[in-house]
A and B are shown apart, each in its own frame.
Chain A
Amino acid sequence: MESSPLSWDEFLASSKELLCISQRLNDGWNWSDTQDGWGYLHKTELKSSSGNESADDVTAEQPGKTILVWEYHILYSPAYSCPVLYFNVRDQDGKFIGLDSTIGQLRFPAKTGRNYLSVVSQSEHPILRKPFCYLHPCHTSDLIIAAEKGRTNLLIGWLSCVAPIVRLELSLEYAKPNET
């Protein structure tokens, strides 16, 4: 099993650590157990769809400013032995905005080019059995193996790599050694 990028137990331990930091920072990560002994991390965030986050100087009645609900789930994939990021973007009424609009909301690294679908696509959420978007886990294990095992929290290391794509803000505090 030494070639496995991240075992379930390691995922659990890393998640616990992440939750601990999150609780301290109050940035909204939660854990849900499933009935059959698995579980996942999740977080919900509201974002304005304009995407222009520094636009503080806009006038009071900004036309077309809409709120989108971003839901992030981090699941463990036994097949890939690594975490997988599932997410959905819904409108103010709770309706999924569609894959194309979702892709329009993402921030891809320049080298992805227009080949978005090699990074993100849609699938059934393995636990909730609802359609979710997700980031392909194909390259996750490379990423995790590349990180030095034991020294850092691999889950957090991985998340910090993929978070910018899905506009998930991750405080620098996550990178600090555990204070407890």
Chain B
Amino acid sequence: MSENLRFLPYEAVVDASFWYTLCQIKLDVDRLSEAERPLTAATMDPAGLTAFVDYSSFNTSDAKTGKIGSSDRTQLQKLCHGNEHKIPVSIMSGFLLNFNSLEAFKNSNKNELLESYGQRIRDAVRNGDAIDDPLKLNNFCVITFADLKNYNFVFWFGFPALGNYTFPLVGQPVLLSDAFSEGEIKSLLDTHSSLKRSGNEFFCAVANGSTLECRPLRYFIDNFEKGAEKLYLCAIDGSTDDFLPGWPCRNLLALVAEHRKTDASVKVIFVRLGRHFKTSFVAELKIEGNRDDFKVVGWSRNARGMFGPRSVSLRDSIDPLKLAESSVDLNLKLMKWRLMPSLDLDVIRNHKVLLVGAGTLGCSVARGLMGWGVRHITFIDSGHVSYSNPVRQSLYGFADCGSCSEGPKLKAEAAPNALRAILPCVTSSGVAMTVPMPGHTTEGVKEAAQLHRLIEEHDTVFLLTDSRESRWLPTVIATSMNKLAITAALGYDTYLVIRHGVKSNDSAENKLGCYFCNDVTAPGNSKRDRTLDQQCTVTRPGVSNMAAAIAVELLVSILQHSDRGACKADDETLLGTVPHSVRGFLFQFSHVLPSTPAFSQCIACSPKVIDQYENNRDEFLDKVFNSAIYLEELTGLAELHKASQIADILELSDDESIEEADE
């Protein structure tokens, strides 16, 4: 038994624009219809035996023909020249069947399907149509299922070939350049332009001693048995593999098999284009098989080399939600790529942030965090959106303030909704609760437990409320868990942003102070350094944005430091210095960056307080909520406070703007 000629199967190549267009057509035109759609694929690409489909494949209204012979530049003698074959020069028609469900896709009878398209080829072969119109010898089908929610596409290409024949080789195939003289090859290529364009991919050549002359395919079929030794069947072959012709040639040989009247061997010239021209070859073969059998083969193999469908997910390039997410990341990556290669964006992205307070500061901090790619933001706020809020609180609009029929929205609901409206992939929720405050209520133990749980679930807590007291419990809890807390507090035209100290692994290191240590022991940098929160609701509008922006940038700088929250004051990272606190003065448009160590008698972060919170929680909190004085007694601050009040008065007495401070 001699070896059979084998054929290289098509590789289907799908451009992303094919899938975009399929989505559009499914949604706007086809909807539930599963009707067959005509398609075209570009073939004879310089890259090899591919069938390429893109958005233009759906447009079959303009009759498309191959490009071979369409202009001087695309005559065969040109295309076979070195670098002249640059684009796909042939077109194949095909059919798309898009199923509504994956089940329907799976359950469809693949054999019957391929046979039905094979039958069209067989008809054209049998009735002889394909002799004058060899384009009818090949088509393709593609079955798809488009999951439009997830932008997943399952698809399977079939290139039907009549499989009832085999083609044993007679002798070894030889290169065209070995089989014929230069003159013969030249005449073959030159006379090709005399062929009708619709049939110029499959044709025949007559050998006249010194020349090879092109004739239409019909000539071969009609004269095959008369002078077989001088006739060559010719195919322009998109395959680029040595002595392995492309898939479409299989149906060409089936056409010959159908119409032959002898079983003489057939000589075939496979002409290749461009830089592959030198691999053009000549093969002589027999045809075996029964013309009345009907067998169609041609489903393509998937990525694993098995006969089966392929699938692709294009969420990243189609899904608007994914696009929004990746575009935000892209913006940040540009900073990394172009300015700071070692910027750690993942640590920011994976950071979970709890915002206590969803007012002017909370809104601005949330937006700043989103800008840096933080994806997990939780709000705590007990308030509703009031009519005065939207102009300063950037996450709310007039509609959130309610109407006659509907009450105002809770900030704890409106703020996360706003974040999701800005970036759908953000994980944001809100908890409507009042932070228990020293001396304010007797029923704070339950809320304290909830706050404890919330802080536990997050990596950093921002203290953004408008009263000094409401920052106390979160400070205690964060200190107890050794988690980072950042406070932003506003004055009329001043602001304070401070990161609460976090214990480092090196326990000998004295940690930095918290908002409360610092407040009491504030150094007298300026008269404006005194307690800022007492006047906080009357502020210049820009102040909250500035403080919020600085708070966010401070967190990001801390996250770039290897010690995170435990880093020393004014340590450097790739983003620059990491101050302990930033005090801003809008009056002079200036900042100072004071740092202070933890205060051993602090009412929020001193060991005595933390010890009580950790070991005697319920009783301790109960006492504190009933009377703030208890804390001062516990820490021995009462004495100190008196002294500091005297100091305050002394300092203020030589200042002219006492009234302002009372506001």
- A residues with a Cβ closer than 8 A to B are 24-28, 44-48, 56-57, 59-62, 67, 69, 71, 88, 90, 92-96, 117-118, 121-124, 129-131, 169, 171
Kindly list the 4 A-B residue pairs having the minimum CB-CB distance in the complex, ordered from nearest.
A93-B312, A46-B47, A117-B337, A28-B87
Complexed CA–CA distance, A60 and B242 (Å):
6
Q: Which of B272-280, B593-601, B633-641 has 4 or more CB atoms under 8 Å from chain A?
A: B272-280
User: Quick one: closest A residue to B79, CB to CB?
Assistant: A26
Contacts of A122 in B (CB 8 A): 330, 333
Complexed CA–CA distance, A94 and B338 (Å):
29
Q: Is B327 an interface residue (CB 8 A)?
A: yes
Complexed CA–CA distance, A119 and B54 (Å):
29
Q: Is B86 touching A56 in the complex (CB atoms < 8 A)?
A: no
Q: Is B74 touching A118 in the complex (CB atoms < 8 A)?
A: no
User: Quick one: closest A residue to B74, CB to CB?
Assistant: A26
Which residues of chain B from 382 to 439 have a CB within 8 Å of any chain A CB? none
Contacts of B313 in A (CB 8 A): 95
Contacts of B330 in A (CB 8 A): 122-124, 131
- Min C-beta distance of B72 to chain A, whole Å: 9
Q: Is A26 touching B11 in the complex (CB atoms < 8 A)?
A: no
Q: Is B14 touching A28 in the complex (CB atoms < 8 A)?
A: no
Q: Is A96 touching B312 in the complex (CB atoms < 8 A)?
A: no
Given contacts A56-B279, A96-B316, contact A48 B14 (CB under 8 A): no
- Min C-beta distance of B331 to chain A, whole Å: 9
Q: Is B629 an interface residue (CB 8 A)?
A: no
Complexed CA–CA distance, A47 and B13 (Å):
11
Q: Is A92 touching B14 in the complex (CB atoms < 8 A)?
A: yes
- B13, B275, B279: the one within 8 Å of A69 (CB): B13
Q: Is B241 an interface residue (CB 8 A)?
A: yes
Contacts of A94 in B (CB 8 A): 14-16, 18-19, 153, 312, 314
* Most A-side CB within 10 Å, residue of B12, B240, B317: B317
Q: Is B120 an interface residue (CB 8 A)?
A: no
Q: Is A25 touching B73 in the complex (CB atoms < 8 A)?
A: yes
Complexed CA–CA distance, A117 and B336 (Å):
10
Q: Is A46 touching B338 in the complex (CB atoms < 8 A)?
A: no
Given contacts A46-B52, A67-B48, A131-B327, contact A90 B244 (CB under 8 A): no
Q: List 14 A-B contacts (CB under 8 A).
A: A24-B73, A25-B86, A26-B74, A26-B84, A48-B48, A56-B279, A92-B11, A95-B16, A121-B334, A121-B337, A121-B338, A122-B330, A123-B330, A131-B326
User: Quick one: closest B residue to A138, CB to CB?
Assistant: B338
Q: Is A92 touching B13 in the complex (CB atoms < 8 A)?
A: yes
- Min C-beta distance of B143 to chain A, whole Å: 15
Complexed CA–CA distance, A169 and B276 (Å):
17
User: Quick one: closest B residue to A117, CB to CB?
Assistant: B337
- Min C-beta distance of B257 to chain A, whole Å: 24
Add 4 more A-B contacts to A131-B316, A131-B327 (CB < 8 A).
Answer: A61-B241, A67-B13, A117-B341, A131-B317
Contacts of B111 in A (CB 8 A): none
- B residues with a Cβ closer than 8 A to A are 8, 11-16, 18-19, 45-48, 50, 52, 54, 67, 71, 73-74, 83-84, 86-88, 153, 240-244, 275-276, 278-279, 310-314, 316-317, 323, 326-327, 330, 333-334, 337-338, 341
Given contacts A60-B242, A95-B313, contact A90 B15 (CB under 8 A): yes
Q: Is B323 touching A130 in the complex (CB atoms < 8 A)?
A: yes
- A27, A92, A123, A129: the one within 8 Å of B12 (CB): A92
- A26, A47, A69, A124: the one within 8 Å of B15 (CB): A69
Complexed CA–CA distance, A92 and B278 (Å):
27
Q: Is B73 touching A93 in the complex (CB atoms < 8 A)?
A: no
Contacts of B73 in A (CB 8 A): 24-26
- Min C-beta distance of A25 to chain B, whole Å: 7
Contacts of B341 in A (CB 8 A): 117
- Min C-beta distance of A66 to chain B, whole Å: 9
* Most B-side CB within 10 Å, residue of A46, A124, A129, A171: A46
Complexed CA–CA distance, A90 and B241 (Å):
23
User: Quick one: closest B residue to A54, CB to CB?
Assistant: B275
Contacts of A61 in B (CB 8 A): 241
Q: Is A67 touching B67 in the complex (CB atoms < 8 A)?
A: no
- Min C-beta distance of A170 to chain B, whole Å: 11
Q: Is A95 touching B312 in the complex (CB atoms < 8 A)?
A: yes
User: Quick one: closest B residue to A99, CB to CB?
Assistant: B333
Contacts of A48 in B (CB 8 A): 47-48
Q: Is A67 touching B50 in the complex (CB atoms < 8 A)?
A: yes
- A56, A62, A123, A130: the one within 8 Å of B276 (CB): A56
Given contacts A26-B67, A60-B242, A121-B334, contact A90 B326 (CB under 8 A): no
- Min C-beta distance of B81 to chain A, whole Å: 12
Complexed CA–CA distance, A69 and B51 (Å):
12
- Min C-beta distance of B12 to chain A, whole Å: 7
Q: Is B13 touching A46 in the complex (CB atoms < 8 A)?
A: yes
Given contacts A67-B50, A130-B323, A131-B323, contact A60 B83 (CB under 8 A): no
User: Quick one: closest B residue to A63, CB to CB?
Assistant: B305
Contacts of B14 in A (CB 8 A): 92-94
Contacts of A57 in B (CB 8 A): 242
Contacts of A117 in B (CB 8 A): 337-338, 341
- A56, A71, A96, A171: the one within 8 Å of B83 (CB): A171
- B86, B278, B314: the one within 8 Å of A28 (CB): B86
Q: Is A47 touching B47 in the complex (CB atoms < 8 A)?
A: yes
Contacts of B83 in A (CB 8 A): 169, 171
Complexed CA–CA distance, A47 and B337 (Å):
28
Complexed CA–CA distance, A179 and B330 (Å):
44
Q: Is A27 touching B86 in the complex (CB atoms < 8 A)?
A: yes
- Min C-beta distance of A60 to chain B, whole Å: 4
Contacts of B67 in A (CB 8 A): 26
Contacts of B275 in A (CB 8 A): 56
Contacts of B88 in A (CB 8 A): 46
Contacts of A92 in B (CB 8 A): 11-14
- A24, A26, A96: the one within 8 Å of B317 (CB): A96
Q: Is A67 touching B47 in the complex (CB atoms < 8 A)?
A: yes
Given contacts A26-B86, A48-B48, A56-B276, contact A130 B15 (CB under 8 A): no
Complexed CA–CA distance, A123 and B333 (Å):
10
Complexed CA–CA distance, A175 and B15 (Å):
31
Contacts of A56 in B (CB 8 A): 240, 275-276, 278-279
* Most A-side CB within 10 Å, residue of B74, B275, B326, B337: B337
